[in-house]
Amino acid sequence: MKPPCEIIVKEFLPNFRAMVAKKLMDDFGFTQKHSADMMGITQPAISQYMKGVRGMSDNYENNPRISALIHSIAEKVADGDSNHHEVTLEFCDFCRALRGDGAFCEAHKTMYTNLDDCVKCTRSR
């Protein structure tokens, strides 16, 4: 069985990056190249996000906590008020939000049907 962090990195993080990149371009007028440079990823990755080739398979913008995180990170990146370390911490907040409100659990249970009523991700440490 894959640990939750591995699944989040593979399945959820690209979606979050895609949503942040889309917000940077739509709301702040960034180009793909500028978005990529500011997020520490490549322009081809941004292009794939925008084409739906990777990321954006699920839209978590309807989740108020995740939507707020997307807005927060995009605003910080656009204002130039954050460094890569701060952006990384925002992505960690995204992971905690997914795990904390059960959004991740549904996907995890779909992948591993024997999990039943697992609540390990939602427990605070």
* Sequence spans of domains, the chain: 4-115
What secondary structure does DSSP assign to 54-109, as a single string? SS-SS--TTSHHHHHHHHHHHHHHHHT---HHHHHHHHHHHHHHHHHTTHHHHHHH
Q: For the segment 68-104, what is each residue's pLDDT rounded down to a tens digit?
A: 888 888 998 888 876 667 777 877 877 777 777 666 7
Q: Chain centroid to CA 100: how far?
A: 14
**HSE value, Cβ hemisphere, 13 Å, CA-based, for 67:** 6
Tokens of 13: 């993080």
d(CA 62, CA 78): 22
Residue % of the chain over a pLDDT of 70 = 75
- pTM beyond 0.85: no
